[in-house]
Every structure is written in structure tokens, then in C-alpha cells.
Structure 1
């Protein structure tokens, strides 16, 4: 499994790159002030960092419990991983988005689904590239 330092690097890089990409795009699409979207994005990012760390830790532990190698992630597993994370984060962020942007829960859900779709694709690509750049450690075999 990944080390704590590696998980922290993974999370910080994910959020920094995501914020720099998503904030201007969301400001333009929602026709909201960049600073308002930026503050909201940072708040969601902080929530996502904590959730990301815990979610990935639990995901890896589930793989170990299911006796699956943590360093082998076929495409279907990467898709499942990204979708389940975004759904869990959506449940936490919709009320905040509604309040912060003065939207109905329905409009906040639509806006947050837009964020989720962006981050769904982004998470898939980011995690794939991250695993290439920072490969998962391979456990030494007993011999």
C-alpha cells in the first residue's frame, strides 16, 4: 500500500491542479464572481482532501480484505473508484453550494453535478497518470 507521505502528495497535487483548472471554468459557466467561486472551490477542496485521503485508504483496505492486489487496477476498477468517490463527495457538498451561491438545492445539485463530472474525468486521468509517475510499491516476495 502507499505510504502516508505518498497519500498526502497525491491529495495535494490533485487538489492544486484541480483548483487551478476548475475555478475559472466554473466562474465562467455559472456566471459568478471568480473570487466567490474560488472561495467555494477552496472549501470544497479542503473537504475533498480529507475525504480523498480517507476514501483511498478505505478503498485500498477493501482491496486487501477482498484479497485483491492493490497495485493492479484495471479500467473498470478505476471507473468504479472515481464514481464512488464523486458520489460520496456530492452528498457532502450540495448543501454548502446551495447556501454559498444562494441557489435552490436543485440548482446546487445541478451545479455540483457539473463539478462532479469535471472531477470524475479529472480523477480518472489524474490517478492513472499518478500511478505511472509514482508507481505503487510492490511487496517483497518471501522466498
Structure 2
């Protein structure tokens, strides 16, 4: 079984963000009646914060699991808790600065963020499906 190489993973991540922002910024500007530049700032800053939060959160979650249960294997229940805490933390981090920057209420920023999450769920699925077709994982060499 083969895995993707490090350069392929970098290409995957960079293209994911580039295409995502290219779609998100103009659509969100029109949908939320905000200037394109403002939504560009929201998109880039949010993606950067989400990436940093992902790193810090996963490191902390794994350390907590190791301390509490002695391992980092995640059951289905642990995965549900993991994703809910991750998204809740990201909301808590992003909502106040988005509301401030765009001059909207915290409630409006929350509703905006929920729409953005919905977009990225669909986008992530479609992007990964397309990426796997355009850049398939090379097959491992079979022993003779």
C-alpha cells in the first residue's frame, strides 16, 4: 500500500487553500453583502488561524488522552468529542474578531461562520475527490 509523498501533501494543502479562497471570497462577498477585500481578509486570516488551532488543539488533545486514558487511539465517542471541541474552540476564536472587523453582531458572525463551515464541508469533499482523480496515489511496487 502506498502513501502520498511529503511534496504531494504540500501541493494538496496549498491547492486546497488557493482554490477554496478563490471560490469562497467572491461568493461570500456577494452572499453576505460585504466588500471582496474584507471577505478576502476574513478568509485568509480564518484559514491561518484554523491551521494554527488545528496544530495546537490536536497536540493538546493527544496529550490529554495520553494522560487520561494512557493512549491516543480514538474511539468513535472520542472522535465526536474531538471534533465538537475543535469546532467549538475555533468558533470561540474566530467569531469575535470577524464581528469586529466586519462591523456586524456576534450573532451575525456566528450565522456567517455556520454558512462558511457548510461551504467547506461540501468543498472539502469535492476537492479531495477531484484531487485523488487528478493526482492518484502511486501504486506500490509488487514483489516479484
1:41 alignment partner in structure 2: 43
Structure 1 alignment gaps of length 5 or more:
59-64, 67-79
Which one has the largest radius of gyration? 2
Counterparts of 1:138 and 1:99 in 2: how far apart (Å)?
49
Q: CA deviation at 1:95?
A: 3.1
After TM superposition, what 4+ stretches of structure 1 lie above 6 angstroms from structure 2? none
1:21 alignment partner in structure 2: 23
Question: Structure 1 residues 98 and 135 mapped into 2: Cα distance closer, same or farther (>3 Å)?
Answer: same
- RMSD between superposed Cα atoms in Å: 3.4
Q: Secondary structure at the match of 2:136?
A: coil
Q: 1:64-100 CA distances to partner (integer Å, 9 max, x unpaired)?
A: x97xxxxxxxxxxxxx9xxx59937545433332232
Q: CA deviation at 1:105?
A: 2.4
Query: Under a length normalisation based on structure 2, what TM-score does the superposition of the two structures give?
Result: 0.64
Query: Under a length normalisation based on structure 1, what TM-score does the superposition of the two structures give?
Result: 0.65
Q: CA deviation at 1:104?
A: 2.5
2:123 alignment partner in structure 1: 122
Count of residues in Structure 1 that have an aligned counterpart in Structure 2: 119
